[in-house]
Amino acid sequence: MSKPVVLILNQDGLLKEKLEESIATVGQPLFVNHWAEIHDLVKERNVLCVLVDANFKGKAHRTKIVNFRGKFETIPIVLFGKITKGSFHESMSDHCIFIDSLDELLQQLPTIIGRRAFEPEVKVFGIVPEQCSPRIKKALRMMIQEFRETLTMEALADRLGVHRSHFEREWHHNCGTITAKQLLIGLRLHHSIYLMQNDGLKLKDIARRTGFANEHMFYRSFHRHLGMTASSYRRNHAFAEFELCYWSWQRTR
């Protein structure tokens, strides 16, 4: 499973070394030199956060920060280091989180990421993990952690040490309102709706980031399970409430 990414706009070699070692506990650190690289990576990878050296190329990238925030609302931007211009802090207060020292950054980063990160919740789909068998609890944890990856029911059953038919019977006994395959699709759709808040992500980018094999599978699954096209949902729904009206559980397959 590929680790989520923390993007870092910084060119200081010593600081890179310190950040790389510390950030590895929460995500994969990737160092970039340009905002264009950040935009490209956000479209393909599960980006937890963007860290920007506050004095990187002076204040020339201020407009680029505002532009990024306008396009990617769910991804926090953290400016770290001493701010040399007081007006810079004031003008960017609505767009960034400011942290003065490296020690403070490393201490607060897990909390910052945790507050903004998407957390899939299987209870949205009528499943109560506390009431499930140990094997199904383990399956749920694996699906929550890996729904963005290429995860098949055969591979899941194999890793649980049982035949697929046995796994499906046990799943039905514990989670009868929805199949394991439907839950996997549901988790991907749930995440896709969350990502629709980011105007900088096209639907094809969202399909790639949420684990669908291709755009066609994403569009078809969205319409089948949510009763409207992905473009209509994005255009007509208020994401502040972020409700998932997943209506196809009981439909005959």
> Mind listing the pLDDT tens digit of every residue in the chain (253 residues)?
567 889 988 766 667 777 777 777 778 888 888 888 999 999 888 898 998 877 666 555 778 888 888 899 889 898 887 765 555 566 666 678 888 887 888 888 888 887 777 888 888 888 889 999 999 999 999 999 889 888 889 999 999 999 999 999 999 999 887 899 999 999 999 999 999 989 999 999 999 889 898 899 999 999 988 888 999 999 887 554 444 444 443 333 3
CB count within 10 Å of CB 88 equals 18
- For residues 80 and 105, is the Cβ–Cβ distance under 8 A? yes
Using CB atoms within 10 A of its CB, is residue 238 exposed (0-12), middle (13-18) or buried (19+)? exposed
Residues 98 and 187 both lie in one domain = no
Which two structure tokens, joined as six digits, stand for 38? 């950040």
Print the domain residue range for 32.
5-116
User: Are 192 and 145 within one domain?
Assistant: yes
Any domain includes 248: no
- Range 214-218, long-range pairs (CB < 8 A, 24+ positions): 218/188, 218/192
Residue 26 forms part of a structural domain: yes
Indicate yes or no: pTM above 0.85: no
Indicate which CATH number applies to the domain containing 203: 1.10.10.60
CATH code, domain carrying 25:
3.40.50.2300
